[in-house]
Structure 1
Amino acid sequence: MTFEISPTNRVRQLSEKARYDEESVHAILDAGLVAQVAFVQEGKPVVVPMIYGRDGNRLYLHGARKARVIRMLEAGPSVCLNVTLLDGIVYARSLFNSSMNYRSVTVHGTATLIEGDERVHALSVISEHLMPGRSEEVRPSHEKEILMTGVIQVEIESASAKISMGPPDDEDEDMDAPVWAGVMPLRLKAGALIRDPEVPEDMLPTPHMQSQTGRSF
């Protein structure tokens, strides 16, 4: 499926890098961990980072029930959010053509505060996105904990991805410049687990946790 191109989601700068298919949009969302969520408060724009999880063409945003962002999104249903993954710094033969390699997606949709069993499901989706398998290893959340947590559901109504990769795109006149050009790769990667000092030294991480070491985003 492809998202319909409209004035809302059309990529105008470097449009050849745009993707509007669900597969590209979902892949970037699934690789990211934090969404930058934009809303308007008292006539002024505000951007807040939020953790999230995806279930089909629906996103769940996590926050404290009394947090400003939860209250504002509950009151104003239109929402826009962005997830960007940096893959490299592009060293061109001029500063003008130097750039970055990246995967980015911008989503527009309708926000709804969810309650009850749906909130429990949403929290499970978010947990599985961030910490696969962890919900099977720890105690179930207390009802009070669930009530203290706010979850905003965003139906993805419109979206576009923008992907930039590869070497510098230099001007012909600069190709013989006596300077190195290329890409410095960037990676967000999970490191070795660090034990809580209160955990006995002979208690090892579960296979689920160990499998996440080295995970790239």
Structure 2
Amino acid sequence: MRNVFFILLLLSLSGCDTQQQEANANEAATAASPPLTFGTSYDQLLAKFTEINFDTLAVSPPDLENGDSPFMGIGLDSAMTALFPKEISGVDSSFAISKFALDADNTALIARVPGDYWSNRIVLLVFNHTRRQLHFKSDIAYNWGDAGDWETINSWLIRTKDNTLYQLTDDTSGSIEDGVEPEKAESIVSSEYYLLHIKPEITDTLSKDSTSLLQTYGHLLRARQ
């Protein structure tokens, strides 16, 4: 009886050892497996964007009438715009402008996409190379006007020596007084400034204190006025 007990014990230990070996082998195989890829479509999209390097980059809505803006870009077909994030996906008349490294695994893209009336909305996107994902970050330039109301967004992308990226934005809007003859009407204009910290994962709003930002970045903001 004792011999039978020892035989069963040895078989049990052997089975546990085999299961552990299989688990270790599966874990090693999983670790050795290459990451999933989703074709070369994203690579083709990124190739349309021109590599740039800067400390401070001023971004303004393009002058579509004259077509002499540095933010006109290269046209993208529908297969490429289908890769855009949901905030701007499935749109025609989109253009690749420029790209720059945000860090070792993320590339920032500047693109021109349709706004309310024309393709004059400039946006910032970030592509993560490991996850093969493209994310919307922020609007960096835009303008529109309708029946006496208007809005213009200008931004500055600022990179520090440690490659931290900030976005300083001037959002200025105006309107014409209602019920007043056009030649006598006055334009009511207001400006709001805000500062963003652009990170691969999130976008942090650092300040919406327009007075403080004007004091700190007046050399940039006043240049637009």
Normalized against structure 2, the TM-score is what?
Answer: 0.23
Normalized against structure 1, the TM-score is what?
Answer: 0.23
Q: Which has the larger radius of gyration?
A: 2
Which of structures 1 and 2 has the larger relative contact order (alpha carbons within 8 angstroms, sep 6+)? 1
